[in-house]
Amino acid sequence: MGAIHTTKADGGGSVRRRESQRRQRKEEALTKLFDLTGRIAIVTGSSRGIGRAIAEAFAQHGATVVISSRKAEACAETAAAINAAEGREAAVAIAANISSKAELQRLVDETLRLFGRIDALVCNAASNPYFGPLAGISDDQFRKILENNVIANHWLIQMAAPGMIARKDGSIIIVSSIGGLKGSPMLGAYNISKAADFQLARNLAVEFGKHAVRVNCIAPGLVRTDFARALWENPDTLKAVTATTPLRRIGEPEEIAGAAVYLASPASTFMTGQTIVVDGGATISGG
């Protein structure tokens, strides 16, 4: 910060006043851009990991979040922790397995019953029951990956979108993966499902655009969560990944949350059908 120079004519009081008004305007602009006050958001897979970090960040920015995963108790614990941290009713828990269309319908119906609308939907929960080359995957495993990672997102979006379309206001965010941008010898089916998520977002962005409902993806790189534990706990894999990642490390769940806040907030009202890659530079590195 440079020193504030005063003149005899204005004393220094008016200069300080102008400086403080300028700072206040700056703070207001920053707050407004990323403000989620009064917004209602559903985040699937938010009892832990990336989903929980997104739910916490949404609540910190003023939203009320619905915490959802398969385990009701884990959801209730996360919602209680958010409420305690925020000092208000910032979160409620509604368990739902994304494999079940009926449970997803209940998640949407219950949210609408409690809050009357859904402003932001984060399709974050996903599955990967198979690790290996495509030649060895069973039909059931491939089906499960496509059902949970693509079709369940389609179901939930179709359930939540009508209210957004009617109000001409809503942001849908799909947590995909940088895996969807690459081939892989061991994660082929999962990567195919994540690539389909990019296209799901693009297509729905085209369908919903005239209603001012936006659909975007976030593509994280390797993040320290239970989901990817097998990768980052293996010293050889961790070394290989971080050696070719410009930032030379893997990500933390909180580092994905900012992109979600951006996509749910007024800061991103002209962005739709796109993907934000948050990967420490892994995908742009020549290795």
Ligand X SMILES: NC(=O)c1ccc[n+]([C@@H]2O[C@H](COP(=O)([O-])OP(=O)(O)OC[C@H]3O[C@@H](n4cnc5c(N)ncnc54)[C@H](OP(=O)(O)O)[C@@H]3O)[C@@H](O)[C@H]2O)c1
Catalytic residue ranges: 190
Q: Of 64 and 68, which CB lies nearer to ligand X in the complex structure?
A: 68
Q: Of 46 and 171, which CB lies nearer to ligand X in the complex structure?
A: 46
Q: Of 51 and 163, which CB lies nearer to ligand X in the complex structure?
A: 51
Residue closest to ligand X (Cβ): 49
Q: Of 47 and 171, which CB lies nearer to ligand X in the complex structure?
A: 47
User: Residue 38 Cβ, how far from ligand X at the closest point, in Å?
Assistant: 25
**Is the dihedral angle over the CA atoms 47, 50, 55, 60 positive or is it negative?**
positive
What residues have CB less than 8 Å from 66, skipping those under 6 apart?
40, 41, 42, 43, 91, 92, 93, 94, 107, 111
User: Residue 7 Cβ, how far from ligand X at the closest point, in Å?
Assistant: 57
User: Residue 172 Cβ, how far from ligand X at the closest point, in Å?
Assistant: 14
Q: Of 44 and 64, which CB lies nearer to ligand X in the complex structure?
A: 44
Residues in touch with ligand X (CB under 6 A): 44-51, 69-71, 74, 97-99, 124-127, 148, 175, 177, 220, 222-223, 225-228
